[in-house]
Structures are given as structure tokens and as C-alpha cells.
Amino acid sequence: MIVIMQEGAQELQIQQVVEKLVDLGYDIHRSTGVTRTVLGVVGGRIIDTREIELLEGVDHVVRVTTAYKLASRQFNPEGTRIVLTNRSRRLEIGGDSLAIIAGPCSVENREQIQAIAGLVAGSGSAILRGSTFRMPFSPYSFPGLGEEGLQLLREAADQFGLFVVSEISDREQLPLFSRYVDILQVGARNMQNFNLLKELGRMEKPVLLKRGIAATLEELLLSAEHVMAGGNRQVLLCERGIRTFEGAETTTLDLAAIPMLKRLTHLPVLVDPSHGTGRRDKVIPMARAAVAAGADGLMVEVHNQPERALNDGAQSLYPSQFAQLVHELTGIAKVVGKTLA
């Protein structure tokens, strides 16, 4: 259930509603918007919503029939914006901004990540990606550089004033990741690692949650709810391709998920056309399409020497392709009312 307070409702009135609901056994998650306060009400026994609607300061009550509540659009109708700040900039993800996350599949060495950080910054993008603790399908592929990779990623990002995102694959890595990254990425294969999600719910850093290859949108939103129920409201969703009967592609990038998620949730929606298509010749058209369809951001793999990449070289853009793509996306973003963050 979601309780929408009247515009200008007083703090005392809000507190009285909260107290009543707590007495009834509910957990309350408060969201204070620009114009009004919304209370997400979870748990407790079923009650007649009119009892709440009659309390002073309450505008109306919405019964949420979906299994997720805090992630539902009604909980924050204005849409969530996630703010990142460092010494040189303030970046907003969500709303009318388009965020571009770019970088190699894996951090390989200092020279590589510095060269790529330079070209990411040069394109006007603000967030550097790079895996360091990988969860590869094959036990024989490059597992990542571990902590050294995180250090190199942070160092390269700082040199260019960029923010950092990297995939955390186990909750034991949390203390380490807290030191080095600005956004904690949960990979497709970990989307339903509920123990990890629960721990991320206690963090104060944004979580970028990738859709599992066999997950429905409802399952994705329920995973987001696991993080949010722990208190962390800063969740970014990322469509990255799902497994379908189509055999010509590694996965099918579900771009229809963008408008669908926009309706179901207030959380920003990103798209990863690199893992979603698996080939650089498909990455560019799908990146354009994702922005045209209303995505709040993209995650794109780019490498200074793709043919030498230790992982995913075939889906990594060449530097010149990446620069051209960002230029094009800036134009497409304008058409849908967004600007490059």
C-alpha cells in the first residue's frame, strides 16, 4: 500500500499517519518529493484503506497489487534521480539526463585503463567501467586483476575526473569495493543472489542491477526491491539481453523493456548493448535505438585495442567508433528531451 500525503501536509500529520501504520505492524519507507510526501507501507495485516484515507493530511491511498512496492512507479511518481559527486563534477542519473558508462570489459593493466579512461573522458562521458572480480562463464577465461584492478581503475578515473562502476561478485568483497567504486554493479548471473542484494541494501552507494538472462521484468523489480527494502533507494536497472528461441544472437536485447519499466517503476533504466548483442557491429544501432526508446543511460564496452582485449574484444568499440557514437547519441537524446550527463 502507498499513502500519498496532501501537498503541504504538515510534519505532525505525517508522523501521526506513520505512528498509526507502525501500530498496525507495517514497515514504513518514506519518500519526500518536491511537492509531497509518499509513504511506502510494507507488511502488516490487511486493513480497510479508508481508515488511513480519513487521517488528516492524507490525500489518497493506493493499493499496490504488484509484489514489489518500493520499486513501483507509484512510490515515487516523479522518478528517481541518482546523484554522484566528486571534486570536479556533479552528475545526475535519471530525469532528463542521459548517462554514458563506458570502458573495457576487464581492467587489464595500467596503460590500458589509462588510455581508455582518457578516451571516455574525451568523449564527454562521465563514468568509467571495468571488471576486476569477474564471473566468467568459463573457468579458463581471465578472472580479472582483483584488488589491483580496482586500484588501477580508481587511479585512471581520478586522473580524468570520472566516476567508477565495477561488478561486485560476492558480499565478502564489499569492504574493498566501498573504498574504490562509486557504483556497485550486480551482474546478470547474480541478479538473484539475495544475500548479496541484502548486503547492498545497507550500503550508501548506488547499485547498478543487471537483468538476469532468464529473468522477467517482475523478477528484476523484485531483486531491486530486495536492495531497497534494506534502506538503499539508489538502484539503477540495466537491460542486457535475455535468452530467447532466437539462435542467431547470443541474447536478444529487449528494448521494449525500456518503456515497460518506465511505466512499472520510478528507477532509472539503463541498457547495455555490448553484452546484449555480443558484436560491435550491432552495438552501435542498438545503442541509438535504446536512447530513442527513452533509456536513461547506456553501458558500452570500448577498448583502445579491441583485438588484443583479454575479454569481449569482439563487442568492444574502437575508440573512433565510440567517439562517433557519443556524438550521435547526443543528437538523439535531444529529440527525446534528454541531455548528456
Residue 187 binding partner per list ligand PEP, Mn ion, none, with a CB distance cut-off of 5 to 8 Å that depends on partner kind: ligand PEP
- Size of interface with ligand PEP, in residues (CB under 6 A): 10
Residues 10-29 contacting Mn ion, CB under 5 A? none
Using CB under 5 A as the binding rule, whether residue 317 contacts Mn ion is answered as no
The smaller minimum CB distance to Mn ion, of residues 167 and 199, is found at: 167
Instruction: Kindly state the cell numbers that stand for 42.
Output: 510494507
Using CB under 5 A as the binding rule, whether residue 167 contacts Mn ion is answered as no
- Please tell me the distance from the alpha carbon of residue 76 to that of residue 93, in angstroms, as a whole number: 15
- Please tell me the distance from the alpha carbon of residue 190 to that of residue 208, in angstroms, as a whole number: 12
CB 89 → ligand PEP: shortest distance, Å? 23
Left if phi > 0, otherwise alpha if psi is -120 to 50, otherwise beta: which for 124? Answer: left
Using CB under 6 A as the binding rule, whether residue 104 contacts ligand PEP is answered as no
Using CB under 6 A as the binding rule, whether residue 275 contacts ligand PEP is answered as yes
Q: Is there a contact between 105 and 185 (Cβ–Cβ < 8 Å)?
A: no
> What is the chain's length?
341
Residue 240 binding partner per list ligand PEP, Mn ion, none, with a CB distance cut-off of 5 to 8 Å that depends on partner kind: ligand PEP
Would you give the distance in Å from CA 11 to the centre of its chain?
A: 32
Bridge partners, 185 (sequence order):
167, 208
Using CB under 5 A as the binding rule, whether residue 312 contacts Mn ion is answered as yes
- Please tell me the distance from the alpha carbon of residue 68 to that of residue 218, in angstroms, as a whole number: 8
Residue 226 binding partner per list Mn ion, ligand PEP, none, with a CB distance cut-off of 5 to 8 Å that depends on partner kind: none
CB 57 → ligand PEP: shortest distance, Å? 44
The smaller minimum CB distance to Mn ion, of residues 23 and 307, is found at: 307
Q: Is there a contact between 298 and 291 (Cβ–Cβ < 8 Å)?
A: yes
Instruction: Kindly state the cell numbers that stand for 145.
Output: 586483476
Summarize as ranges the residues that interact with ligand PEP (CB under 6 A).
105, 131, 167, 187-189, 210, 240, 272, 275
